[in-house]
Amino acid sequence: MMPIISFSHPKGGVGKSTLCFNFLSYLQLKNIDFICVDLDGQNSISSLNKIRKINGLKPFNIISFKSESELIEFIKNNKNKFTVIDTGGFDSGFNRIVISISNQIITPFGDSPLEILRLRDFDKILDEIQNQINEEIKIDLVINRISSSIKSFNYLKKQIDDCKHFKLLQFPIRDRVAFKNSLIEGKGVLEIDSKSLSDANAKSEIELLFDEILKQVKE
């Protein structure tokens, strides 16, 4: 069975869909055949995919579902294609299903106190889901949109050390303008043609992170 990777966070505005869209671009550049399920109520991934088409770029294979039963049926029948799921920024039946069936769950977060508090709330939700499915749930955290001036992340690690379900991925993503500018054209940062140092750093950071994620999926 091919892996299911989901991008999930019970709060909107953390850069989840931007990270997911860039992951789709990364997979396409690596010629990995995939399907993306857009479960975010804002349909950000689907909207960005329309911009790709307008600009003559190869669109991603993106689908969505109106009911939980449709999603479950898709998961049962789709065993031969790499699947990426972008969930909504809230706790829902859709999101709980995705968390329970995903091989890997990616959750981006920043360093604001409110984001840390919401992350700790998420840990409690994961307790509930774990008890329901009787299987251990682990979440891969990505430090996202963090200032380039911050060199140590120990202050963040200390605030989530006692959470049961989180593991911090090695490579953070900095707050760089390339992530916003690339989306205007429906591109991931790896697709932009730029020689600026900041854009080069954005490409390097995103590739290191996604290489780490893909390596874990293959293990």
CA dist 165 and 157 (Å) reads 13
CA dist 41 and 174 (Å) reads 26
Q: What's the pTM?
A: 0.96
So what's the pLDDT on residue 92?
80
Name the residue with tokens 């080069």.
200
Q: What is the mean pLDDT of residues 39-53?
A: 95
CATH topology of domain 4-218: Rossmann fold (3.40.50)
**106-162 pLDDT per residue, tens:** 999 999 899 999 999 999 999 999 999 999 999 999 999 999 899 889 989 999 999
So what's the pLDDT on residue 94?
86
So what's the pLDDT on residue 63?
97
**81-107 pLDDT per residue, tens:** 899 999 987 678 888 999 999 999 999
Q: How far is CA 109 from CA 151, 163, 167, in A?
A: 16, 14, 12
